[in-house]
Amino acid sequence: MSTAGAVVQAADVHPDPRAVGATIRTLFELESGLVRRLADIAPGSQFGGTASAAGELWFVIGGRGSLTLDGYPDLALRPDRGTWVPPGARYELRHDNDDPQADGAELRLDMVALPAASGASVGGSSGPQTCDLNDCAVEMTGDRRFRVLFGPGRGCSVATQFVGEIPPGRAPDHSHPYDELVLVLDGVGIVHIGGTEEALSPGTCTHLPPGVSHCLENTGSTTMRVLGVFHPADSPAAKLGQH
């Protein structure tokens, strides 16, 4: 993976032919061990697997379903819900086709596996955890809003999962002290990264390495919404400086 960053469009990534019951696309697999996948589970289908050795942070982008983990009660999956899956846990995902709110849509999940050396912990508990976006406090950095679902003091000591809202326009270029993976949920724009420009639209995923100058510009007329994961953990407002 380039130290200058990279941009991929989910639709351009070939699905894993070994996956049964779901369409799984690996968007990024960094040398650090941070892996981001996108899972689509069709109505009436189910998909099983094993979480990474340091656990995983998931986010429901769309659709409804349920998550079964050995030894724990089932967890409901619904849009804008974040989920912590413990290290090495065996899981089964099911699309709730009978749910009247499902509207026949695929269950789409963002699934980020943490590096094995992380030693991740969630609230001192080894069990699964969920967090709904609407229950998270709104924070600001400049004119941009964000909500942290998991992070230090919020259930995960080694990585941060957040949803950001970017109004039309461009903020100053800046850099962060951590690896950042950003997935566009809504809106259009441009990512300025390491002196290059790439188009952004729903399904675009960007890797922003530590120290690399970048900026997400919203070129549309509505708010751009992005799902981000930082590793090591930090605040979306933490910057090495503006450029």
Q: Do domains 6-123 and 133-234 have the same CATH topology?
A: yes
CATH architecture group of domain 6-123 = Sandwich (2.60)
Non-local (6+) Cβ contacts of 138 within 8 A are 145, 146, 147
pLDDT on residue 158: 87
Give me the mean pLDDT over the 75-93 stretch: 95
Each domain of the chain, given as residue ranges in start order, spans 6-123, 133-234
Q: At 142, which amino acid appears?
A: G
- Residue closest to 5 by CA, chosen among 205, 233, 231, 218: 205
Q: Which residues contact 224 (CB under 8 A, 6 or more apart)?
A: 165, 166, 167, 184, 186, 187, 188, 189, 200, 216, 218
Measured CA to CA, the distance from residue 63 to residue 79 in angstroms comes to 6
CA atoms of 164 and 162, how far apart (whole Å): 6
Round to whole Å and give the CA distance between 197 and 192.
5
> Encoding tokens for residue 157?
């000591």
pLDDT for 153 equals 87
In this structure, of 103-107, 162-166, 237-241, the range with the lowest mean pLDDT score is 237-241
CA separation (Å) from 32 to 26, 94, 117, 118, 210?
15, 30, 9, 10, 12
Residue 92 confidence class, pLDDT cut points 50, 70, 90: very high
pLDDT, residue 236, reads 73
CA angle (133, 136, 141) in 5-degree steps: 105
CB 149 within 8 A of CB 137: no
Question: pLDDT digit string (tens) for 62-83?
Answer: 999 999 998 899 999 999 999 9
Write out pLDDT tens, residues 168-203.
999 889 888 889 999 999 999 999 998 899 999 999
Beta carbons of 41 and 110 less than 8 angstroms apart: no
Q: Could you give the dihedral angle defined by the CA atoms of residues 152, 202, 7 and 43, in that order, rounded to the nearest 10 degrees?
A: 80
81, 108, 116, 160 from 62: Cα distances, Å: 10, 5, 28, 21
Residue in the structure block whose two tokens are 């970048």: 214
Q: Which strands form 65-69's sheet, in the order they lie side by side?
A: 46-50, 90-95, 65-69, 75-77
Superfamily of domain 133-234 in CATH is: Jelly Rolls (2.60.120.10)
